[in-house]
Amino acid sequence: MYRIGFSKDIHQLVENRKLILAGVTIPFEKGEKAHSDGDVVIHALSEAILGALALGDLGTHFPDNDDKYLNIDSSIILKTVKEMMLEKSYEINNIDISISLEKPKIKPYILLMRQTLAAILDIDIDLLSIKAGTNEKMDAVGRGEAVEATAIVLLKSR
């Protein structure tokens, strides 16, 4: 049996925060404004997995009004969601992620991002795709005010 999940996440870019994408810190003068570390890639991916399993959204499991999750490393969130997936007897079939960001250019970091996520999920890197693009100077992402990630995941029963 297969189940598909989709999600997107967007965060404002602000000064005095780290830019963390897929568990990788990217050198830049701005980072994500968030209750957690703000990793939009991991947030979108985690929520896509939760959605595929019909387990609700990220806010249900990791509420942003709970200080327990203040500045939490998002890889902990993904590891927790992975355990939930395994408890439901599912595994990753494949993942496709898109990141929208005007600056900085993140192409040099995509392989490291894929390796990082594959290691967290304990899957082969060939099951995970990450693409980067801009919003052609349109909307908050295009003006450099935000970063957005979308993720789609296909799960299969174990």
pLDDT tens string 37-60: 999 999 999 999 999 999 999 999
Q: What is the pLDDT of residue 95?
A: 98
The residues, ordered by sequence, that sit 6+ positions from 148 with a Cβ below 8 Å of its Cβ are 8, 9, 10, 40, 99, 100, 101, 135, 141
Average of pLDDT values for 129-147? 95
Average pLDDT score, the chain: 96
Residue 74 scores a pLDDT above 90: yes
Q: Specify the pLDDT at position 120.
A: 98
Residue 10 pLDDT > 90, yes or no? yes
Cβ neighbour number for residue 26 with a 10 Å cutoff: 19
pLDDT band at 66 (very low <50, low <70, confident <90, very high): confident
pLDDT score at 40: 98
What pLDDT, on the 0 to 100 scale, is given for residue 125?
A: 98
| CA–CA dist 123, 155 (Å, integer) | 12
Pairing mode of beta strands 2-15, 24-26? unpaired
Percent of the chain with pLDDT over 90: 92
Which one has a higher pLDDT value, 128 or 62? 128
